[in-house]
Amino acid sequence: MPELEYVQENCPKCGFTFMVPEAFPEQRRKDHKTFYCPSCGSGIWYPADNEEERLRKQVEALRKTAQRERDRNSIMFSNLEHEVRVRTGHQGQVAKLKKRIAELEAQ
Ligand SMILES: [Zn+2]
């Protein structure tokens, strides 16, 4: 049976230092469960996001950024499409006018 390794834990309330199994702080960072100071009995927990939660939030933020970027591009694309339609419409009119002028000149 492997020997348990212990690490130091400090009570933020009374400053008492005590030893806990090595895996203990990691588990509490994962589940954010409260444990209690053996000296003053006040609850201790890790409110900060653990690695997995941080990564999940980062992924979520990136996904939102990507979505915004896609939305922006699709708006820009439809604006561009509209612009092209307007311009080709004008070009069509110009072509018609040129043709008409050419016809008149030929008479
Ligand atoms: Zn304490």
Task: Quote the number of domains for the chain.
Answer: 2
Which residues form the domain of 34?
A: 6-44
Residue 52: per-residue pLDDT: 86
Report pLDDT digits (tens) over 58-103.
Answer: 999 999 999 999 999 999 999 999 999 998 888 888 889 999 999 9
Q: Are residues 40 and 59 in the same domain?
A: no
How far, in Å, from the CA of 44 to the mean position of ligand 1? 9
Report pLDDT digits (tens) over 5-61.
Answer: 999 999 999 999 999 999 999 899 999 999 999 999 999 998 888 888 899 999 999
Which residues lie near ion ligand 1 (Cβ < 5 Å)? 11, 13-14, 16, 37, 39-40
Q: Are residues 29 and 65 in the same domain?
A: no
Residue 1: per-residue pLDDT: 66
Compute CA 32 distance to the chain's CA centroid, rounded to the nearest angstrom.
23
Q: Which residues have a Cβ under 8 Å from the Cβ of 37 and sit 6 or more positions away?
A: 11, 13, 14, 16, 18, 43, 44
Q: Are residues 65 and 104 in the same domain?
A: yes
How far, in Å, from the CA of 34 to the mean position of ligand 1? 13
Q: Are residues 56 and 100 in the same domain?
A: yes
How far, in Å, from the CA of 20 to the mean position of ligand 1? 14
Residue 3: per-residue pLDDT: 82
Q: Are residues 77 and 40 in the same domain?
A: no
